[in-house]
Structure 1
C-alpha cells in the first residue's frame, strides 16, 4: 500500500513507518511544517520516500493519513484528488481538545467520509465527533532495549516547547522538582527555559542518544497536565526506568502498580521523585515492572497489526 503522510509527530511516525508499506513524505525546499520530509533525529527505514509537492500527482497513492485539518486541502491540491472522496483517508488525532472540554467538536466532526483514529481512549472520549466514525489505536513503540543504569542521581523530563506550552506540559513544576532533585530536561526548545539551580537542558538530541542519556538518570518524571499520552513516557518505561507521572489524561492507565507513582498531588510528585533518587534498588525494581508492562501493552507488533486492519478496511470500504 502506498500511503501519503506528513512528518508531524516524529516519535509516532517512527513507529508507524515500520510497517510493510511505501510511505510518501512531502518535502519542500525550506523543510517547513508542510514539507519537513524524512526525520533528521530518528532512524527511519528506506521505504519512507521524500516527494516534492509538484510531483505528488504522479504518485499512485492508495490512502492519505491526515494529522492536521489543513492537510485535507493540501492533499487535494497536491494530489489532484480529494481525501475521503477520490482517495481513501483517515485522520489521526494525537491531541487532547482545548476549549470547552468535553463539548469541543473535532475539526473534522460531522462527516462520514474520513474516519478518526485516536491514539488514546481518553482523547476519543473527550472529543465530540458529531457522528464521524472513530476508533482507538493505542501507541506502539520501537523497543529501545533495556538500557537503564540509573547511575546519575537525578530526574529526567522530556518536553517540547516548555516555555510556549507552559502549564499544559507542567513547566511550572520544574522549579519544585529542581528544589528536591536535580532535573535534566530533554526536548525541543528547552534551552529557552529560565535558568534555575539544579536544572540542565539537552536540546533536540538524536533519539538514540537521548535514550542513552535518559537511561543514566535515576527516575523519569512525566509532568504533562493536559496533552495526549507522551511517547517519551512509554519509551522511558521500555528503557527500564521507574516513572513518576501526573495522574491526568491517559497516564493513569499507562502506568501500572509497581512501575512508579501516578498522582494528582504536586507535593507527592516531588516526593516520589525524591524517593526514587534516594533508593537505587527501589528504582531498579520499579523500572523492571515498567519495562515488562510497556512491552506488552505498547509493543510495536500489536500497534502495526491494529493499523493494518484499519488501513485495509478503509481502502476496501471507505470506513472503519
Structure 2
C-alpha cells in the first residue's frame, strides 16, 4: 500500500512508518509545517519517501492519513482527486472540554482514530466512526544507568505551552532534584525560570542521542497537566527509568504503581522525585517495572497490527497500484 502522511509528530510517525508499506511524506520549499519531508532527527526506514507537494498528483496513493483538519482539503488540492483517508487525533480537546466537538464530528466518511481511550471519552466525535489505537513505541532498549542524580524532562516549546506542559512547576521540582530539559525550543529556559545553576537544556538532539542522555538521569519527570499521552513518557519507561508524573489524562493508565509515582498532589510528586534521585536502588527497581509495563502495553508490533486491521477495512484490497 502507498500511504501519504504528513510529518507532524516525529515520534508517532517513527512508529507508524515501521509498517512495511510505502510512505509518501509531502515536501514544500523551506520545509514548513505542511511539508517537512523526511525527519532529520528520527531514524526512519528507507520506505519513507519525501515527495515535493507539486509532484504528488503524479504519484499513486492508496490512502491519506490526516492529522490536522486543513489537510483534508490540502490532499484534494495536491493529489487532484479523492483518495480514501483516515484521521488521527493526537490531542486532548481544548477550551470548554465537556462541550468540545471534534472537527470531523459531522462527517461519517472518514474514520477517526484516537490515540488514547481518554481522548475517545472526552472528545465529542459526533457521527464520525471512531477507533482507538493506542501508541506503540520502537523499543530503544534498556539503556538506563541512572548514574546522574538528576531528573530528566522532555518537553517541546515549554514557554509557549507554559501551564499545559507544567513548565511553571519546574522551579518547585528543581528544589527536590536538579533538572535537565530535552526538546524543541528549550534553550534559554533555565535562565527564564531563574534556575541557571540547577537546570541544563538539551535542544533538538537526534532521538538515539537523546535516549542515551536521558537514560543517564536517575528519574523521569512528566509534569504535564493536559496532554494526550506524551510518547516521551513511554520512551522513558522503555529505557528503564522510574517515573514521576501528574495523575491526569491517560497517564493514570500508562504508569502502574510499581513503576513510579503518579498523583495530583504536588507535595507527593516533589517527595517522590527527591526519593528517586537519592535512592539509586529504588530508582532502578521501579525503572525495571516501568520498562516491563511499557513493553507489555505499548509494543510497536501490537500498534502496527492494530493499524493493519484498520487499513484493511478502509482499503480492503490493499495496494491498488504502484
Instruction: Provide the alpha-carbon RMSD of the alignment.
Output: 0.9
Task: Choose from 104, 113, 120 the match for 1:108.
Answer: 104
Cα distance per residue 1:41-75 (max 9 Å; x no partner): 00000000010111101111000000001001110
Q: CA deviation at 1:116?
A: 0.5
Query: Any residues of structure 2 matched to 1:38-187 within 5 Å, and which?
Result: 38-81=38-81, 86-187=82-183
Question: Shift of the alpha carbon at 1:178?
Answer: 1.1
Unaligned stretches of 5+ residues in structure 1: none
User: Residue deviations 1:246-276, cap 9 Å, x none?
Assistant: 0000000000120000100111111100000
Is residue 210 from structure 1 mapped to residue 210 from structure 2 by the alignment?
yes
Q: Secondary structure at the match of 1:55?
A: helix
Question: Within the alignment, does 1:225 sit opposite 2:225 as a pair?
Answer: yes
Q: Secondary structure at the match of 1:258?
A: helix
Deviations 1:259-300 (A, max 9, x none): 000100111111100000111000000000000111110001
The equivalent residue for 1:265 is 265
What's 2:237 paired with? 237
1:11-66 deviations in Å (ceiling 9; x for gaps): 00000000010000001120000010000000000000010111101111000000
| CA positional deviation for 1:316 | 2.7
Partners of 2:228 and 2:26 in 1: CA distance: 25
Q: Which residue of 2 aligns with 1:282?
A: 282
Contact 1:239 1:291 survives alignment (8 Å): yes
Q: Give TM-score, length-normalised by structure 1.
A: 0.96
Q: Map 1:274-313; keep pairs closer than 5 Å.
A: 274-313=274-313
Q: Which residue of 2 is the match for residue 16 of structure 1?
A: 16
TM-score (normalised: structure 2): 0.96
Give the drift of 1:192: 3.7
**What count of residue pairs does the alignment treat as equivalent?**
313
CA–CA distance in structure 2, aligned partners of residues 110 and 271 of structure 1: 47
The offset of 1:102, in angstroms, is 1.9
Aligned to 2:320: none
Instruction: Report if the CA contact (8 A) 1:163-1:192 is conserved.
Output: no
